[in-house]
Structures are given as structure tokens and as C-alpha cells.
Chains A and B, each alone.
Chain A
Amino acid sequence: MKMNQIVFPLVLALAATLATTGCKHTPPKITPINGTSPSNVSDVNNQSTLPNANPINSDANPNSTPGSTPTAGLDEFEGMIKDPAALAANTIHFAFDSAAIKKSEDSNISAVASALSGNASNKLLIEGNCDERGTEEYNRALGERRALAAREALAKRGVSPERIRTISYGKDKPTDPGHDDAAWAKNRRADFVLLHPKP
């Protein structure tokens, strides 16, 4: 009842408005679309070409002063020579969606640890990788967790974690670009790259 009392006059009022404004044609308006766009990214919209990116300068880094951190700064690894062949046979593999080091990888971890203990000036880069299942940024984090788990395992065998740098490629660096179980198993891995001091 109450609803009717409110709504009915409203409908009448609208009907009356429509009766008067009904089929009247609004005169055509010209809407110029010039340099100033209504969008909040107006300048992008109106720039026909965007300037090329400036080169990335590794020295121009005023803001990234590392804080107190358990990982060594990247500059500790600056200019070191990558030797991916030296430890290529010791790549370790992971179960699906897991960063746990399998017991079966013990011998590979030991081999990497002894390669590092043999030469104190060498350092290590661990590259964490994933299969293509899983979302991109999730996998980028998962690859990092795999690399960090390998670093942890090496630390337990006496390698100073300060000598180890990690990088995650997520699913961006498959060793086998296939799309089946065999390819995925190969891609869920951490590669060890020996780093020699620059000559």
C-alpha cells in the first residue's frame, strides 16, 4: 500500500515528463575529439608514437641501497664469468609445485658443494625454473623458492650463502619447450652456474 502511494505518483510524473519531452529530437551536436581527451591517460592517447626507451644503465642506481640482508648484494657478483658447463651434470629436479629438495638429489648437492670448497674465489649462481603449469608470477616466486632451497641445502653442507646468488626464470626458460609430463619434469629444476672471478 505504502509502496503504491510512493511509486504511483512517480510513474505519473515520469509519464507526464515523457508526454512533454516524448519524441522531440535533440539537435545534433558536434563532439570534437582533439588533443585533450576525456580519458585520464590523455597524453598516451594523443601521442601517436611514444619515445624509445632509454638504455638501462647499471650504474644509475641511486635508490637501491641494499638494507641489512641475508643475501649478498648483487655487486658482490659484478663482472664474474659464468661457467654453465662446469656443473651442468648436477642440475636438480623438483616435484610438481614443490620447492623441497628430494633426498635423491643429495649427490648433486654434494658435488656442487665440493666444487665450491675446492676454489674459494669461485661463487655460484642458482637458476630456479618451473614447468608451464601455474600462473606466471606464482611461478616466478616458485622458481625463486627452488633456488633458495638449493642455496639452503648448500649452506648446510658448509658453503657460505654469501657466495651464492639466486635467479628465478619462472616458466620463461624451459629446457624442453614441450607440453607433456616428460617436458614438465625436465623443466622443474635448479641449474647451477659456477662463477669465476673476472680475470
Chain B
Amino acid sequence: MPEIQLPPSLQGVEPVRSVRTPARLDYTFTPGEATSRFLKGITQKKIIGQRATPDSRVYVPPRGADPELGAATPIEVEVAQVGTVTSFCVVNLQFYGSGMEIPYTSALILLDGADLSIMHLIQEIPADQVRVGMRVEAVWRDDADIEPTLESIKWFRPTGEPDDVNVRIPGEIRGTGLGSWPGGVAPTELTVRNPRTGLGGTAEFGGEG
């Protein structure tokens, strides 16, 4: 590195060791077609998933595309307001933007009739009693407070039904993709059924293994 010659006016001045350059950008967010339809359903206290074809997976909340088929999801399917906890975490840290009293439980809930878990809160049960397989139901805000947001469901609470012992995390057999492929081996067309061509995969797991 060449020696840097500072101009006289900067010599002997305390060097700048860091600089803060705050930035803020404001956006007008629109949810898009599929999510708008979903949120309109919420205003009627309905949870409406979407699918691409009569046989394909039901996505809740829908984002507009079926990632297996690479297709739009025009077909609406109302799913149950009851589902099964597929995973959860107990939050013990207060963080910015959260008004929740700790500890609380955030969970992935697979609603009956859906193929994708939604993330929501579990309440009306001590955090240390929440478990995978537990059956839960939606608790809505008062009718006057229903808005086009998933927060119109205040939380989910236990139904008291027996646990679903066969609960499966969608994709658990073939791995979640987050470094947890079974045996450390990523799925390929040889091990995973191609949802478009119907080829590949092992029959034992419905083509998913």
C-alpha cells in the first residue's frame, strides 16, 4: 500500500474509523391476485387455499404458483379451521416489533385439507405442553375486528382431540431441503416422483420417498 499523504487540513485530525449511512426506502406493497383472494376469504372468516389442478396440492396461504407444477393456482378450496401442529418453537426472547408476552409458542399448523403448513401462534395452553401432533383450532377476533390479514385469527388453541400420531411434516421423508436430506443425499429424479410427468420415486412412500 502506498503511503497516503493527507492534505495539511486533515493532518493530526482524528481518523474516521466508521461511518453510519442510514437508508430508508418506502414501498407500496400489493399482495397480488392469489393472496388477495385468500385475504378476501379471511374477511368472511374462511380459510381458502388454492391449487393448480383438481389433483394437485392445496397451498395455504397461496402465493400464486404451484412450485411442483410451475403453474398458476386458479382453483379455490376452502380448508378446515382445524389442523395439526407439525413443528413449533417456544419464543423466550422479546424482539423488536413483537407485542407478545413471553414465553409464547409459534407453530407450523397443517390445516385439514391443506398441503402446506401455515405459521401461527398457539395459545390457551402452557408453552411447555405444546407438542407435534397436537390438534388445534383457529380462534378469530370479534367479527367487528375482522380485516384482510391472517392476524384476524388471533391464535390457535387445542381442540382436545387425541393427537394425530401419524402427523408428518410435509416433505419429511424426502427431507426439508435445509441441510436435512435423508442420509445426506439430495433427492434426484431417481428418488423423487416428478409431479409433472409422474415418473421416478419409490411407490412405498407414494412416490415421495
Partners in one complex: no
